[in-house]
Structure formats: structure tokens, C-alpha cells
Amino acid sequence: MAYDTPLQLSERDQAMLAGEYGPATQMAMRILVQMAGIYGARELLDISAAHIDSTIYIGEAGLEYAERLASLGAKVAVPTTLNVSGLDEAHWQEWAVSSDWAEKAHRQMVAYASMGTIPTWTCAPYQTPIKPSLGQQIAWGESNAIVYANAVLGARTERYPDLLDICCAITGRAPATGLHLEENRGGDILLQLVDIPTTLQERDIFYPVLGTFMGKLAGDRIPVIANLEARPTDDQLKAQGAAAASSGAVAMFHIVGVTPEAPTLAAAFQGKEPRHCVQVTLEMLTEVYRGLTTSQDDSLDFVAVGCPHYSLAELQELAALVQGKQRHPNVRFIVTTNRRNKDLARKAGCLAPLLAFGCQITLDTCILATPMLHRSLRSMMTTSGKFAYYSPGMLNVQVTYGTLQECVASAVAGRVVKGVDAWPT
């Protein structure tokens, strides 16, 4: 039976719509077709991987949706990783998470795990063995993962919202639109770094600031960074993209000579002229750096690092910094990562120093995805541009943004300590 739609649907798409692949696939395809129409797509395309952000429990509707699909026998058609959940299954009772929340968040985890997915439970799926490659068509949710996939890996995904991501995974199809298409992946805005010291460009603290600047300026357009002399690490690019997708809606960027679709300036703009050029100075970035701190004093209740989820390399760096030190008893030190990276850290021998220092390793979720923080925790310090950007509004806390060295020194002192390997002001 033909389906009355402006989309050009393949025979297989039509069969899915007609229910020939089962009721869950039919439900997913119905939603996908509706959404493809809203996106203005003329057809669907095949995807070969998906990443599901709908895993985070945010209320009854999302849970009901997940359990409905699961009860209909939903199974993913492509390798599908899972984003963070709303629960640290192993440690939630150490925090302010209610048992009602825990029960529902766990049911949502069970529902998505039942669909043949890969239980990565991480917002950094690109740092797992299942990372996509250049040119691969994928459907990913989670803003930081989307921008990393497009910009750093050169894979192709639109910004998939919760609930639609799983429909793509079940059908193996996505609307042929936006960043899936070559012609939409060229740069819009040129950001030329001017006299930014290379020594600053090499440091971790630089990238969340550059990302925040980029997001504020670009919105949902594609920025192209030129004159970056340092060679950023994967973790630095991760931090940059996450910040840009927080302060703006950046889903793609290029760095000339660094990211795979920008070997040259001309390639980054697909041979066209930039529509807008901005000279980025140290003064401009310093203003953004200052804006990431909202705290007015040196009070400190907790440090939170690991947004996006800490990699093994980041866990190792932190372990080296805290070795032989002890956190102040009034300051909690939260490290968010996933179960795989914790296991890797244990095998690498860096878990013990973290625990000896008093770090609390939160797994498979984060402070913004689960209600783990007691309301009495009011002042926070972080290295993450994304945590710094969202936490004042979402958690009603005062934030100090700083280096990892400053975070450790502050956790030891029991108050905010600045000036340790700090931003050059």
C-alpha cells in the first residue's frame, strides 16, 4: 500500500510504514516520516550507526515512549550506542537521588538496553571503540557528540533530538537533509586568531573558552578557525565542541589544517567566500574566560570535572595531579565518566590515587542529568565550559571556571584558589 506523503520513500520504507517489519518499526517509521516532512527532506537515506540521547530520564512521557517501543519488540537496525542515563546505578544512594527517580530512570535504561543497543552510557561515544569514520552517515543525539562527529571525525549527522534518534536507529534511515549533505557542510564564518600565544593554544583551558566564544558568535552556523598554531588533542577538541554546542547551537566547525574537511581555508569554505570574518584577539577570549565564572567569592562546596565524560587520558592526568594529596573534608570532588573508562583506569593503575584523594567517580550520568546534588551545595568549580555555562541556570549554583591545577589546589584548600597555571590575564 502506497503511503500518501511528499517524501520519496523506497519500497522498504513503505513496507516499514505498512507494518511488515513489525509494530515497533512501523511506529518509528511513522514518526520519522512526519519529522522528515518538518525538516523539508525529499527522501530518507541509509545510516550505519546511531547514538541515543533519549536515554536520559526527564519525566513520564519519555519513559512511557521507551517502554512502549520496547513492549512492541523494538530492535535497532544499526550499531547503536547509548548516551548517559538518568542514574548512576552503582552510586546513586550516595547522593540526593530519590528512590522514585531511581526506579523510573532505571526502567528507562532497561527499555533502551532491551532494543539490541550497545550499553556505552556515555556522552563521548566517539571515545569508544565504536566511533564512526570520515563520510559515514549516522544519526546521533547529544549536542557535544554531534559536533565532534561532524567536525573532528568527518562523519555526517544532523542534530537529532530525543525520541527521533531511536526512530532512526530502529529503521536504519534518516531524513536526507542538513549536515548529511555535502553542500551544507562548508563554513559560514571565518574566525582568524590574532596574536594568541601558542603556549596558551597548547593548554586545556584555552579550548572551552574558544568553544564558548565560537558558539556565542556562530549560533547555528558553521565557524572556521584559522591561524591555530597548536595541534589540539582529542580531549581539547571535545571540550571546544561541547562548549560551542552549549553557548550556541554549533553542530559543525572546521579548523584549517586540523579537522578532516578543512585541509585548506578554501576547502573549509568549499571554494566560496566567507560571509563574515572576525579577528579573534586575546582580549576577546579573556572576556569570555571571565564570563564563565559567576561566583563572587572564594567559597567552594564541590569541584565537578568530566563534562563531556572524562577519557582515560584525562583520568590519568588528574590522578597524577592528586597523587599524595588529600581533598578538604568540606569539598566534594566529582569526576564524571562511564563504566568502561573506570575499568580502564583501574587496569592502568590510576583509579587508586583518585579514590585516595577523595574523588567520587560518578558513572554513566552527570550532575546535569540526574538530581544527585543536594540543594545545600551552592558553589562549584569546574574545568568544563559546558558545566560552567549550564550549571548556574540548571543547578542554581555559583561557578568558578579554572584550570585542573586550580581545581585540585582549591579542593585541597577548601576554598577557590586561582593563579595556579592560570589564564594569562
Q: Where are the alpha helices (DSSP H) in 172-205?
A: 198-201
Q: How far is the CB of 367 from ligand F3S (least distance, A)?
A: 7
Task: Decide: helix, strand or coil at residue 413.
Answer: helix
Which of 87, 123, 345, 399 is in the footprint of ligand F3S by CB under 6 A?
Answer: 123
The single residue listed with the C-alpha cell 582515560 is 312
Query: Would you count residue 307 as binding ligand F3S (CB under 6 A)?
Result: yes
Q: What is the DSSP letter of 162?
A: T
Q: Which residues of 72-102 are buried (b: 16+ CB within 10 A; e: fewer)?
A: eebbbbbbbbbbbbbbbeebbeebebeeebb
Q: Which is nearer to ligand F3S, 185 or 309 (by Cβ)?
A: 309
Query: Would you count residue 308 as binding ligand F3S (CB under 6 A)?
Result: yes
Q: How far is the CB of 85 from ligand F3S (least distance, A)?
A: 10
Contact present, 99 and 92 (Cβ < 8 Å): no
Contacts of 225 by beta carbon, 8 Å cutoff, 6+ apart: 191, 193, 210, 214, 253, 254, 255, 256
Tell me, by CB under 6 A, how many residues bind ligand F3S.
12
Closest CA to 206 of 292, 312, 87: 292
Q: Which is nearer to ligand F3S, 65 or 387 (by Cβ)?
A: 387
E strands, 148-207, are: 173-175, 189-193
Which of 104, 156, 159, 309 is in the footprint of ligand F3S by CB under 6 A?
Answer: 309
Contact present, 194 and 159 (Cβ < 8 Å): no
User: What is the Cα–Cα distance from 110 to 99, expressed in whole angstroms?
Assistant: 16
Q: How far is the CB of 60 from ligand F3S (least distance, A)?
A: 21
Q: Which is nearer to ligand F3S, 77 or 404 (by Cβ)?
A: 404
E strands, 181-271, are: 189-193, 223-226, 254-255
Q: Which stretch binds ligand F3S (CB under 6 A): 65-73, 172-180, 211-219, 306-314?
A: 306-314
Q: How far is the CB of 337 from ligand F3S (least distance, A)?
A: 9
What residues from 340 to 379 belong to the interface with ligand F3S (CB under 6 A)?
Answer: 366, 368-369
Query: Would you count residue 144 as binding ligand F3S (CB under 6 A)?
Result: yes
What residues from 153 to 192 belong to the interface with ligand F3S (CB under 6 A)?
Answer: none
What residues from 383 to 412 belong to the interface with ligand F3S (CB under 6 A)?
Answer: 386
What residues from 323 to 342 belong to the interface with ligand F3S (CB under 6 A)?
Answer: 336
What residues from 77 to 96 belong to the interface with ligand F3S (CB under 6 A)?
Answer: 84
Q: How far is the CB of 254 from ligand F3S (least distance, A)?
A: 22
Task: State the residues that interact with ligand F3S by CB under 6 A.
Answer: 84, 123, 144, 242, 307-309, 336, 366, 368-369, 386
